[in-house]
């Protein structure tokens, strides 16, 4: 009896990723993979490329895209669809799921002559609400992890074919991706992988179902040498084709000739590693310890279906910055949907689709929330959409509400050039300060969070296993590497938000006390904080291309100093394009350096990547201290320190009641 190998690969690069990274991915993975597979037309397989990546590859590597088109025409390749810009479908409204899926299906049909019947689910995030959206766009089946089925009570022995589910009367078929296959391909020797497939055939398995990231073939650490230079992919393909027990099929062909295994209803989940990453750090550590204990006791495989962890949406509760970005995106989606049909252009829809790209909304081993350029791409597209909506159907100039459902009221201040949001959480600080002219959010930073994997930092000096032992290679999940030196304290979590205008009081002993008891005064549109013998009032006002913050202090027991902290996101970060410019035109340093000036009334933050600058002016001289704000995170390449923002502290003595005004002026490049 033979077994069907359903072999699928998924290719994606985040919206806004650096061109050099995409080029490298294509040179070391996508292009190499296609050139090998082209030599074996009888090896049939399925592919999914996100639409944004396809657009880039057609522009930069047309010959390889022509090669892929030819492989499609000869019946070797089946195309899977999904959302065009790789959103987590469960995290966006039904109307946007439909437009995202339809956009990519149209693109694939136009360029490759095939309209997808199958779809890739981003990060294999399953919620039953996506069924109606997928079916409405012509999708008949998707691939999710076998773990999803185990959590539904299915036996692992039955997970060798597809099942059916439904929602609101719509049927969708589900293929269980084999975790055992994902962990073997391409990490175990090719001969062993082929022998494993043949053993499944002898035991009567109908299909071996594989669908995983193509980046594992060349981009993950050690895989380029292993897969291409040492010939793993060629050996595997030739071994499969030479076997009398294995036949390759596309998902479409298998689906057309086989019957469903039966009905199944999957719980809300993703792959088990994601269910760990989405938990808060202490709980993630406990969950990981539980899994390791179950493995050590030999009970893990039996108990795995009951080890659930969290769900993908928990990232919105873990990271306030992701939640704010997500809720702002949903608000823009509602506004776009409310426009008359003739005003909802393809261009505006594309801005929304790009703002829904999944990568910057979460963080695991590969998630991109920690990468400023990915968050910036979300905000850039979101603010392009906001700028267009400002002309078509502007929002109220001032508005209040709990926009991100966190229990705190946000006050929105808007004009045609600037949108600013103040959160009433005791700090009365800006959580967003966006320039529509520059399509940039200066508040797009990230506080330092505790992460469960920070516990591995002490392994920096521990010996690591030598690569290339001849017995396969290690998965990126199992490696501990360091791109930067991480010192004690570098990974300490922040105790307060990384917002703009986060205030503190400094007493005569130079002790800092957070000013976190502001309360709003509805009659005067200001926030006030007070203590014994002192009162401080704070107000915000927009004026064309500027935002003015006014501090008024009064009382007979005022502090020695008032200090306000501005955490400002700037595209150049520590690169050459970012620099401080003083009023006399001199440049005292770049954003990646520390800066201390005792008496200052004006400074400009100039950024060539921004194509503009931000000027800070004060009505009374201040002491300025500037330093880079960095976080410690982990990627597939190792631990790294990433600059998230410029942290600027402005301090002044209130004396007997100094009235301080601080103006942030946005200056586009001329």
Task: Report, as residue numbers or ranges, the catalytic residues.
Answer: 123, 213
Structural Rg of the chain based on CA atoms: 27
Neighbours of 381 (CB within 10 A): 24
Which DSSP letter does residue 482 get? Answer: B
DSSP H helix total and E strand total for the chain = 19, 27
Which DSSP letter does residue 121 get? Answer: P
Q: Is 638 exposed, middle or buried (0-12, 13-18, 19+ CB in 10 A)?
A: middle
Is the CB of residue 463 less than 8 Å from the CB of residue 292?
no
Length reported for the chain: 670
Give the C-alpha separation, 317 to 328, whole Å. 15
Packed helices 51-60 and 62-73: angle between N→C axes, nearest 10 degrees: 120
Give the C-alpha separation, 424 to 504, whole Å. 16
Give the C-alpha separation, 206 to 374, whole Å. 41
Give the C-alpha separation, 393 to 619, whole Å. 36
Q: Got the DSSP string for 221-260?
A: TTHHIIIIIS-HHHHHHHHHHH-SSEEEE-HHHHHHHSPP
Q: Which residues of 79-107 are buried (b: 16+ CB within 10 A; e: fewer)?
A: bbbbbbbbbbbbbbeeebbbbbbbbbbeb
- What φ, ψ does residue 187 adopt, rounded to 5°? -85, -30
Neighbours of 110 (CB within 10 A): 9
663's enclosing H/E stretch is strand 659-668
Tokens (6 digits) for 120: 């890739």
Q: Tell me whether strands 638-652 and 578-582 are parallel, antiparallel or unpaired.
A: unpaired
Q: Got the DSSP string for 497-550?
A: ---EEEEEEE-TT--EEE----EEETTTTEEEEEETTEEEEEEEEEETTEEEEE
Q: What is the CA 581 to chain-centroid distance, rounded?
A: 33
Is the CB of residue 553 less than 8 Å from the CB of residue 657?
yes
């Amino acid at each position: 009896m033979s077994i069907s190998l359903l072999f699928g690969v998924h290719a994606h690069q985040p919206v806004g990723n650096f061109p050099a990274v995409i080029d490298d991915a294509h040179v070391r993975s996508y292009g190499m993979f296609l050139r090998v597979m082209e030599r074996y037309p009888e090896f049939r397989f399925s592919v999914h490329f996100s639409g944004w990546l396809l657009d880039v590859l057609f522009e930069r590597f047309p010959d390889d895209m022509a090669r892929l088109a030819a492989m499609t025409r000869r019946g070797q390749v089946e195309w899977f669809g999904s959302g065009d810009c790789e959103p987590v479908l469960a995290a966006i409204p039904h109307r946007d799921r439909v437009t995202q899926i339809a956009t990519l299906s149209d693109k694939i049909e136009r360029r490759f002559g095939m309209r997808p019947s199958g779809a890739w689910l981003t990060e294999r995030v399953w919620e039953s609400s996506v069924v109606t959206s997928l079916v409405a766009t012509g999708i008949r089946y998707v691939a999710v992890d076998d773990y999803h089925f185990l959590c539904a009570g299915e036996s692992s022995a039955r997970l060798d074919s597809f099942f059916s589910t439904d929602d609101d009367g719509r049927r969708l078929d589900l293929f269980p991706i084999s975790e055992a296959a994902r962990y073997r391909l391409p990490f175990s020797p090719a001969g062993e992988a082929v022998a494993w497939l043949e053993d499944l055939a002898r035991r009567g398995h109908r299909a071996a179902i594989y669908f995983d990231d193509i980046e594992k073939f060349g981009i993950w650490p050690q895989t380029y040498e292993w897969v291409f230079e040492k010939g793993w992919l060629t050996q595997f393909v030739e071994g499969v084709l030479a076997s009398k027990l294995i036949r390759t099929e596309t998902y479409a062909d298998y689906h057309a000739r086989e019957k469903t295994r039966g009905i199944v209803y999957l719980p809300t989940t993703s792959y088990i590693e994601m269910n760990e990453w989405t938990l808060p750090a202490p709980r993630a550590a406990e969950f990981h310890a539980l899994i390791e204990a179950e493995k050590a006791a030999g009970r893990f495989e039996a108990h795995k279906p009951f080890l659930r962890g969290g769900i993908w949406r928990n990232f919105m509760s873990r990271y306030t910055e992701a939640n704010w970005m997500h809720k702002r995106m949903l608000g823009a989606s509602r506004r776009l949907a409310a426009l008359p049909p003739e005003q909802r252009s393809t261009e505006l829809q594309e801005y929304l689709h790009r703002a829904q790209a999944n990568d910057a909304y979460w963080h695991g081993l590969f998630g991109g929330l920690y990468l400023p350029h990915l968050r910036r791409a979300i905000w850039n597209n979101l603010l392009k959409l906001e700028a267009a909506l400002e002309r078509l159907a502007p929002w109220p100039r001032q508005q209040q509400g709990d926009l991100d459902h966190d229990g705190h009221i946000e006050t929105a201040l808007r004009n045609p050039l600037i949108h600013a949001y103040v959160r009433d959480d005791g700090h009365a600080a800006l959580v967003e300060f966006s320039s529509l002219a520059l399509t940039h959010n200066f508040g797009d930073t990230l506080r330092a969070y505790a992460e469960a994997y920070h516990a591995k930092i002490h392994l920096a000096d521990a010996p690591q296993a030598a690569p290339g032992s001849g017995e396969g290679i290690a998965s990126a999940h199992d490696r501990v590497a360091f791109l930067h030196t991480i010192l004690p304290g570098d990974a300490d979590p922040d105790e307060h938000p990384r917002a703009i205008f986060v205030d503190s009081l400094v007493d005569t002993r130079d002790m800092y006390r957070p000013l976190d008891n502001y309360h709003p005064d509805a009659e005067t549109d200001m926030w006030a904080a007070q203590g014994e013998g002192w009162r401080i009032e704070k107000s915000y006002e927009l004026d064309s291309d500027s935002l003015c913050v006014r501090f008024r202090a009064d009382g007979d027991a005022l502090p020695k100093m008032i200090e306000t902290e501005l955490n400002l996101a700037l595209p150049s970060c520590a690169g050459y394009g970012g620099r401080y410019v003083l009023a006399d035109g001199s440049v005292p340093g770049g954003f990646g350096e520390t800066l201390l000036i005792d008496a200052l009334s004006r400074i400009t933050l100039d950024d060539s990547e921004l194509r503009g600058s931000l000027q800070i002016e004060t009505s009374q001289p201040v002491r300025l201290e500037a330093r880079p704000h960095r976080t410690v995170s982990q990627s597939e390449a190792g631990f790294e320190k990433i600059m998230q923002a410029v942290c600027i502290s402005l301090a002044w003595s209130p004396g007997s009641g100094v009235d301080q005004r601080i103006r942030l002026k946005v200056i586009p490049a001329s």
